[in-house]
């Protein structure tokens, strides 16, 4: 049985089908991705990790991090290590996933930067929600766009001959 259109005119509302199926697939995909990302036991690397300054980072606990991905929101389990000498902590998994200092995945950041490069940030917010089914705000798009722009400039400067 086919779902008939919103207008009740007997036609199939294909756009509605597309959006519902996309949303469902994003939901399934986010569950799969979350399972995959958490299959490594939080990226536990042993009781200690060498600091590089003659002492060690010690494993403290597991910490969850909420991430916005192209497929939706998810939670990633990460091993947290702390160096008492340097008074610095970190989760190795953040670097491995490219999410150090952010809760936005590389895929979403790419979308944000691309939209931010071509559109006013407020319009970009609407575009991303409409086209990708992801909710980000204009200020986040601006921050990501500027940060990536700075990184590109720095890369160009380093590689100029």
Per-residue pLDDT reduced to its tens digit, 87-137: 999 999 999 999 999 999 999 999 999 999 888 999 999 999 999 999 999
State residue 1's pLDDT score.
41
* Same domain, residue pair 53 and 25: yes
Domain housing 131: 105-161
* Same domain, residue pair 111 and 130: yes
Give pairs for 78-83: CB < 8 Å, separation 24+. Answer: 78/42, 78/43, 79/41, 79/42, 79/43, 79/44, 79/45, 81/45, 81/48, 81/49, 81/57, 82/57, 82/58, 83/51, 83/55, 83/56, 83/57, 83/58
Report d(CA 10, CA 7) in Å as an integer. Answer: 8
Segment 63-91 mean pLDDT? 97
Residue 36 has pLDDT above 80, yes or no: yes
* Same domain, residue pair 18 and 81: yes
């Amino acid at each position: 049985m086919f779902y008939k259109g919103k207008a009740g005119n007997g036609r199939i509302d294909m756009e509605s089908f597309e959006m519902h199926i996309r949303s469902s697939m994003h939901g399934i995909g986010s569950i799969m991705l979350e399972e995959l990302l958490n299959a490594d036991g939080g990226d536990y690397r042993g009781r200690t990790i060498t600091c590089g300054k003659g002492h060690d980072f010690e494993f403290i606990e597991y910490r969850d991090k909420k991430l916005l991905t192209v497929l939706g929101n998810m939670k990633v389990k990460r091993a947290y290590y702390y160096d008492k000498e340097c008074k610095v902590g970190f989760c190795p998994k953040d670097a491995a996933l490219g999410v150090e200092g952010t809760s936005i995945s590389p895929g979403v950041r790419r979308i944000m930067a691309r939209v931010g490069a071509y559109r006013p940030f407020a319009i970009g917010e609407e575009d991303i929600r409409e086209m990708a089914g992801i909710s980000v705000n204009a200020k986040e798009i601006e921050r990501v766009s500027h940060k990536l722009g700075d990184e590109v400039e720095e890369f160009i400067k380093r590689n100029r001959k």
